[in-house]
Amino acid sequence: MAPWWRRLLATRWLVLVAVALLALFLFSELGVEILEPGANRVDQATRNWVLAHQWPPLVTLCRVLTTLGSTVGTTILGLAVTAWLWLRRHRRIASVIATAPIVASAGFDGLKHVFMRTRPPGAALARITTYSFPSGHATVAAAVWLTLAYTLRRERLISRPATLALGVGWPVVIGLTRIYLDVHWATDVLGGWCLGAAIAAMATGLYEHLERRAARAA
């Protein structure tokens, strides 16, 4: 029988593969849905509700949060953490974390030009002219923070509550700010979360693969 650690790593690997496939499936379903005639009804209803409940102080807070969680800022942060870990000789973790912002940034940008979806009217007021689906903020936030939280937790560098706050809480907040500021449709953000989760699952799957190789070598 295989050692317990090999069975555990194999199980984690299978779970991460399943998560990646599920997230990609949900993303593809959303992509097909937004191309259907009349698919904007739910998004429009969500937008109408949000606009009816906008509160100026909360709008200001969302602008601050969405700036902190920008695609550029999150990518730079992810690469900065990568460099720090590399210098501290945590090269296995660094190589994993580096993949998340790079793949996420290239992925959402390319897919925007595939779907070519128009943003809600609020984007014009904010002078945002890029396509809408998927949300870059949601994609990069989910990819980077889920990867970062998972690997740091596996290395026992952060607590379980911190893992949930970083990996789930922050990407959710960033995505919701995009809807609240009327610069993205709700399905744009859902698509971004799905795409980002798939990228994170693949990145952390790479981490488990490298862990398995290291365990075998030991």
H-run or E-run covering 109: helix 91-115
pLDDT in tens, 178-187: 999 999 999 9
Task: Note if 184 is an active site residue.
Answer: yes
Share of the chain above pLDDT 70, in %: 90
pLDDT in tens, 48-95: 999 999 999 999 999 999 998 888 888 888 788 778 777 776 777 777
pLDDT of residue 7: 57
Q: Which of 53, 90, 113, 137 is catalytic?
A: 137
User: What are the angstrom distances between the C-alpha of 165 and each of 14, 108, 170, 173?
Assistant: 24, 24, 6, 10
Q: How confident is the model at residue 1 (pLDDT cuts 50, 70, 90)?
A: very low
Task: Note if 90 is an active site residue.
Answer: no
Residue type, 73: G
Q: Which of 90, 113, 184, 209 is catalytic?
A: 184
The pTM score is: 0.87
